[in-house]
Amino acid sequence: MTRRVVITGAGAVSPFGPSLEIFWEGVLSGKIVLEAGWAGLHTDLQDFPVGVVAAEEAAAHWGLDPRAMRRLDPVSILALCAAKEAIENAGLEGSCEGTETGVVLGIGYGATTTHIATHSTLAASGASRLSPFTIPASMPNAASCNLSLEFGLKGPSWTVSTACASGLDAIGQGMWLVRNGVVDRALVGGAEAIVDDMGLGGMAAAKALAKSGDGDPAVLCPFDRDRSGTAVGEGAAVFVIEAEEVAEAREAPVRGQVCGYGASADAHHITAPDPSGGGAEVSMRKALVDCSRQPGDIGAVYAHGTGTPLNDKMEGEAVLRVFGEKLPLVTSTKGQYGHAMGASGPLNVALALRGLESALVPATHPCPDPDPECGIVPVRDEAATLEHRMAMVNAFGFGGHNASLIVSKE
């Protein structure tokens, strides 16, 4: 059994706000919502701009029980908010329970907020003062199982963790479940909430972050000649995907199709990407093969584009090899709201979906001086008109994980 897989619902929570439309409009505006000197961080981390989501406010916006939310890590709260929007968007409130709906969620770094709180309690008061919800809140599968619990979903409930490729891998693997008839429907996507001392401190120690010495948050500059590193963000994006015939049977509006998925591993270095871009090239080519498409069918590439010297150069060169001289429009929007790690791919899928609906590709901000060594010039200054009905999204992670996904509006 091989079935077409369509998207009938989408939700996103980002530093711009608690919904997909707020995210889309914010990105189109060109506004940068990264914050320098965020008070929630240790003083020696406050020179690193971050993209913060107010999890409690997002939960209130979507009507989630505040008492239940206090038992959860922010990563689960963000996933629940995005899933609530996606389910409402798909017209499935109260009607997607049962064994035919699965969950596949990507979490790159896990419940770091809970880990920090646990360590603080242990140090100050001992183990007897730990919450009984410590393990349920911090286990790697917490976000996925909370989606299953909240919405009564009894199909397979999986967590994928491949660093920054996690969410895109989750969508691809969820597509496989639906395509091959294992389930009729799935909630897929990713979430991340690591704007804290552990998450940011670890990234700073890995020399991956751009620093703001004067409080200017415009430090993440994808594909720019003077790029110096990334900025940590957080958020979530979740989609309802269904077999086409299942969506048609309930007369659901179809927002797009998940067409192709490709993945690879660099087997090169624990943090640095393969400078040749070979693994990135493989994942893009595999995604094209998976949906029997040619490079010329792709109108836009939503790049991983982290603003690090190594990533942007290798990704630009890989895109150039895959697509040749007739390049699609290329963009990276992370400079506006930060790199949401395992959620970054799904957030880009959300933008790609809205872009296909609006025939637009958002611009890359800030990128004042494109680096010729990257081999590509991204969309700049303002959104570009999209003439094709198909887009590719890339996500590459620590450990050498590479993922590419193709979505269409046909």
Catalytic residues: 164, 304, 339
- Supply the angle between the helices 142-151 and 74-89 in degrees, to the nearest 10: 40
User: Is residue 96 within 8 Å of 185, Cβ to Cβ?
Assistant: yes
Alpha carbons 362 and 332: distance in angstroms, whole number: 8
Measured at the CA of 171, the angle between CA 149 and CA 77, to 5 degrees, comes to 40
Paired tokens of 35: 């914050």
Q: Which positions ≥6 away from 134 have C-beta within 8 Å?
A: 114, 118
CA distance 321 to 14: 32
Question: What string of H, E and C letters represents the secondary structure of the chain?
Answer: CCCCEEEEEEEEEECCECCHHHHHHHHHHCCCCCECCCCCCCHHHCCCCECCCCHHHHHHHCCCCHHHHCCCCHHHHHHHHHHHHHHHHCCCCCCCCECCEEEEEEECCCCHHHHHHHHHHHHHHCHHHCCCCHHHHHCCCHHHHHHHHHHCECCCEEEECECECHHHHHHHHHHHHHHCCCCCEEEEEEEECCCCHHHHHHHHHCCCECCCCCCCCCCCCCCECCCCCECECCEEEEEEEEEHHHHHHCCCCCCEEEEEEEEEECCCCCCCCCCCCHHHHHHHHHHHHHCCCCHHHCCEEECCCCCCHHHHHHHHHHHHHHHCCCCCEEECCHHHHCECHHHHHHHHHHHHHHHHHHCEECCECCCCCECHHHCCCCCECCCEECCCCEEEEEEEECCCEEEEEEEECC
